[in-house]
């Protein structure tokens, strides 16, 4: 046997043994024999570097060290799920689905407490892995994902596919990691999720390789129009490709769903990994488009969250937080206590009505939990421990600017209406730079507060004037030269964001992410939008009177007009950069790209098609109009031939574009 064939045979054996051990949990070879095969392959590859492949199991050991993480734009957004906390809310979800479609069943899976990631394969080989990020843009973590033994570097079939899943750490691996960190006198991780998140974001892949990460894959990323298989079929297909998949249960009714969710909750501690709920999805994928989406989540799926852990601690004070809209939120100051893997010292009290209805008083022992497993809140008072505490009295003036607080007839919350309130300005700045808005990496809450208090940033345009203070920030604000250079580069890069991110970042009341995108796509530019009337806005689908009135009021303000003009003069983009089809050559046509194109990358070809109004999807179906087939086109081209779909080679693709 020649060297190349011997290397390929060893790879095939080791990949099979890895799959049996890490995916099937059914090893068929001893550790000693496995190590011997692995060493043999490693030595052969070192002696014959021309035969080294990125899909070789030897590439899992790590060794890639990055300077930083590159951004990855998701071709299809990675949405989060809305939550249900009890059986009634699951029934409400079922009723919402049944209003739109009738004949459905559901798939229920345990919800792994890890971090979402996307994997892209070209012709069966892993080429890119990315974090969820803000759902639109994540970070490239390919070098670390390649170290995860349950993630196939090469699939069982030479398909081009993008899949989504959850990276996690088992309880046993977590215990081993913390024991090792204790011996090395390093701080322990608080829980497996934090350990997994910290491991996958290591710049040195050797660190991730030692952390025994794992991954379940649970879906294929594709447009709804391509969704011909059921979700249960997709999971089975993913398993056939070589992925590790989570067990699932198909349920014919919502009552069966509730029973299955309760079964998973009652056995949660028997799982080898942490779970924090169950995921419920409509099984018929072809119905997803009809059921639809919100800005943040699909309407055809929901996460059933387990009952939150509740703990007792003492509330030592109540302070008041001023939001960017001026909303006043009472905050409980607590004696620090551990809740679901993190230390909690503050918890929301929502508003004065919430406090009075529960008769919460400073000095009480209180029961707290994490609402939705995220935001700590005070649930109730331990009355038998109360000792003559005074009743709560709500403030009537802003804690920051002392303006008299107002409450509208339709709302329970109090507001500071002073346009010059410094607390509102600070929260506005924090929101503008946040991940879901302008996504300025490195400009987090603490840094913005520092810049605000030092006088460097008082308004949104001041963010784009920070470069004028570069040398001063390095010395006075105690920033390193490399850190401030990277921050200023990130601020400069944010100028190129599309209009919907800027619009959401401005923090206009009632204008969320989805509405921002609808408005940006409709008007095309911020200045065109500024001339809109209530009637103009309400003529747009999804824009009601309340949003329209808020927009008109915001744009009528001279200070807001001046700020927007200032941003434009500073080079901030005010145009929509997405695709708006206006009768292009491919308007309404669906394309599939397969094989290697010599003159274009996949992303370039996709952009050219979309610029002409076409849509690019990941799989061939009866709804596909054209398959663009480059070199070494495989199963997609064959399927197109079977279905009688028009096929273009690269030459014809270029001719049609021109």
pLDDT of residue 17: 77
DSSP class of residue 595 equals S
CATH of domain 83-305: 3.30.470.30
> Looking at residues 159-185, what average pLDDT do you find?
90
- Among 307-311, 343-347, 533-537, the least confident range: 307-311
Would you say 37 and 13 are in contact if contact means Cβ atoms under 8 Å apart? Answer: yes
Binned at pLDDT 50, 70 and 90, residue 597 comes out as confident
Q: How many degrees, rounded to 5, is the angle at CA 136 between CA 131 and CA 139?
A: 30
Chain position carrying tokens 């270029």: 654
Please state, in angstroms and as integers, the Cα–Cα distance from residue 133 to each residue in 26, 73, 198, 203, 372, following that order: 34, 9, 14, 17, 20
Residues in the chain: 658
What gap in Å lies between CA 597 and CA 138, rounded to an integer? 26
Q: Where are the domains of the chain?
A: 3-61, 83-305, 310-417, 422-569, 590-657
| 99 has pLDDT over 60 | yes
| 73 has pLDDT over 90 | no
- Among 387-391, 438-442, 465-469, the least confident range: 387-391
| 22 has pLDDT over 70 | no
What gap in Å lies between CA 516 and CA 638, rounded to an integer? 42
Q: How large is the C-alpha radius of gyration of the chain? A: 27
- Among 4-13, 170-179, 464-473, the least confident range: 4-13
Please state, in angstroms and as integers, the Cα–Cα distance from residue 313 to each residue in 307, 339, 465, following that order: 19, 11, 45
Expressed in angstroms, the distance from the first to the final Cα of the chain is: 50
> Looking at residues 497-505, what average pLDDT do you find?
94
Q: Which is catalytic among the residues 4, 5, 111, 307?
A: 111
| 222 has pLDDT over 80 | no
pLDDT of residue 49: 78
What gap in Å lies between CA 174 and CA 181, rounded to an integer? 11
DSSP class of residue 363 equals T
| 98 has pLDDT over 90 | yes
For 613-655, what is each residue's pLDDT tens digit? 777 777 787 788 899 988 777 777 878 888 888 888 888 888 7
| 169 has pLDDT over 70 | yes
Higher local confidence (pLDDT), 191 or 391: 391
> Looking at residues 244-259, what average pLDDT do you find?
94
pLDDT of residue 476: 66
Instruction: Dig out the tokens for 265 from the structure.
Output: 């909750």
What gap in Å lies between CA 132 and CA 116, rounded to an integer? 6
Q: Decide which of 3.40.50.10190, 3.60.20.30, 3.30.465.10, 3.40.50.300 is the CATH code for 590-657.
A: 3.40.50.10190
What gap in Å lies between CA 192 and CA 69, rounded to an integer? 22
pLDDT of residue 227: 54
Higher local confidence (pLDDT), 452 or 599: 452
Closest CA to 107 of 221, 231, 227, 255: 231
What residues contact residue 226 under an 8 Å CB cut-off, 6+ apart?
617, 618, 619, 621, 623
For residue 111, indicate whether it is catalytic: yes
Binned at pLDDT 50, 70 and 90, residue 46 comes out as confident
What gap in Å lies between CA 52 and CA 39, rounded to an integer? 14
Considering the chain, what percentage of its residues have pLDDT values greater than 90? 44
CATH of domain 422-569: 1.10.150.20
| 539 has pLDDT over 50 | yes
| 54 has pLDDT over 80 | no
Higher local confidence (pLDDT), 3 or 167: 167
pLDDT of residue 454: 87
Fold (CATH) for 310-417 = OB fold (Dihydrolipoamide Acetyltransferase, E2P) (2.40.50)
Binned at pLDDT 50, 70 and 90, residue 225 comes out as very low
Q: How many degrees, rounded to 5, is the angle at CA 288 between CA 282 and CA 290?
A: 120
Binned at pLDDT 50, 70 and 90, residue 405 comes out as very high
| 603 has pLDDT over 80 | no
Domains 310-417 and 590-657 in one fold: no
Superfamily of domain 3-61: Helix hairpin bin (1.10.287.610)
Higher local confidence (pLDDT), 507 or 630: 507
| 403 has pLDDT over 90 | yes
Higher local confidence (pLDDT), 205 or 438: 438
> Looking at residues 422-444, what average pLDDT do you find?
92
Buried b (16+ CB within 10 A) or exposed e, 616-639: bbbbbbeebebbbbbeebbebbeb
The dihedral through the CA atoms of 357, 362, 367, 373 has a sign that is positive
């Amino acid at each position: 046997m020649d060297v190349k064939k011997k290397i390929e045979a060893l790879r095939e054996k080791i990949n099979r043994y890895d799959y049996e051990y890490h995916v099937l949990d059914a090893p068929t070879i001893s550790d000693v024999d496995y190590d011997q095969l692995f060493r043999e392959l490693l030595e052969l590859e070192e002696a014959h570097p021309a035969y080294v492949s990125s899909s070789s199991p030897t590439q899992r050991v790590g060794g890639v060290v990055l300077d930083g993480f590159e951004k990855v734009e998701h071709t299809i957004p990675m949405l989060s799920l809305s939550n249900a906390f009890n059986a009634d809310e699951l029934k409400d979800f079922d009723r919402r689905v049944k209003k739109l479609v009738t004949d459905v069943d559901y798939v229920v899976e345990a919800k792994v407490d890890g971090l979402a990631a996307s994997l892209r394969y070209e012709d069966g080989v892993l080429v890119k892995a990315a974090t969820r990020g803000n759902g639109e843009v994540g970070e490239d973590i390919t070098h670390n994902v390649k170290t995860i033994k349950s993630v196939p570097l090469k699939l069982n079939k030479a398909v081009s596919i993008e899949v989504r899943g959850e990276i996690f750490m088992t309880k046993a691996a977590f215990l081993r990691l913390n024991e090792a960190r204790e011996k090395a006198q390093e701080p322990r991780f608080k829980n497996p999720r934090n350990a997994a998140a910290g491991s996958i974001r290591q710049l040195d892949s050797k660190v991730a390789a030692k952390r025994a990460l794992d991954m379940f894959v649970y879906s294929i990323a594709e447009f709804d129009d391509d969704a011909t298989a059921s979700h249960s079929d997709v999971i089975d297909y993913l398993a056939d490709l070589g992925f590790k998949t989570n067990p699932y249960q198909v349920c014919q009714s919502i009552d069966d769903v509730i029973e299955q969710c309760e079964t998973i909750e009652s056995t949660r501690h028997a799982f080898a990994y942490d779970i924090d709920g169950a995921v419920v999805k409509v099984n018929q994928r072809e119905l997803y488009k009809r059921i639809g989406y919100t800005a943040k989540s699909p309407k055809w799926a929901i996460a059933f969250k387990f009952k939150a852990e509740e703990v007792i601690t003492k509330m030592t004070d109540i302070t008041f937080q001023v939001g960017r809209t001026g909303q006043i939120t009472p905050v409980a100051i607590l004696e620090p206590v551990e809740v679901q893997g993190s230390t909690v010292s503050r918890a929301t009290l929502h508003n004065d009505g919430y406090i009075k209805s529960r008769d919460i008083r400073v000095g009480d022992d209180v029961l707290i939990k994490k609402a939705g497993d995220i935001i700590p809140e005070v649930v109730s008072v331990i009355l038998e421990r109360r000792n003559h505490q005074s009743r709560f009295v709500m403030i009537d003036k802003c804690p920051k600017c002392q303006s008299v607080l107002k409450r509208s007839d339709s709302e329970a919350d109090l507001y500071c209406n002073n346009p010059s309130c410094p607390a509102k300005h600070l929260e506005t700045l924090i929101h503008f730079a946040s991940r879901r808005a302008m996504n300025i990496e490195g400009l987090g809450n603490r840094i913005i507060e520092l810049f605000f208090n030092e006088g460097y940033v008082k308004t949104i345009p001041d963010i784009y004037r920070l470069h004028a203070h570069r040398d001063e920030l390095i010395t006075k604000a105690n920033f390193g030269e490399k850190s401030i250079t990277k921050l200023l580069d990130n601020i400069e890069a944010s100028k190129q964001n599309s209009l919907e991110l800027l619009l959401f970042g401005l923090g206009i009341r009632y204008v969320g992410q989805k509405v921002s995108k609808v408005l940006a796509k409709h008007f095309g530019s911020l200045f065109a939008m500024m001339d809109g009337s209530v009637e103009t806005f309400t003529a747009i689908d999804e824009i009601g009177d309340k949003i329209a009135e808020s927009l008109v009021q915001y744009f009528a303000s001279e200070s807001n007009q001046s700020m927007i003009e200032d941003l434009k003069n500073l080079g901030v983009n005010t145009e929509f950069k997405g695709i708006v089809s206006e009768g292009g050559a491919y308007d309404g046509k669906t394309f599939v790209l397969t094989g290697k194109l010599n003159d274009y990358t996949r992303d370039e070809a996709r952009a050219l098609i979309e610029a002409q109004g076409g849509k690019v999807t990941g799989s061939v179906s009866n709804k596909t109009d054209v398959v663009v087939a480059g070199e070494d086109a495989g199963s997609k081209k064959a399927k197109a031939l079977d279905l009688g779909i028009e096929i273009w080679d690269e030459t014809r693709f270029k001719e049609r574009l021109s």
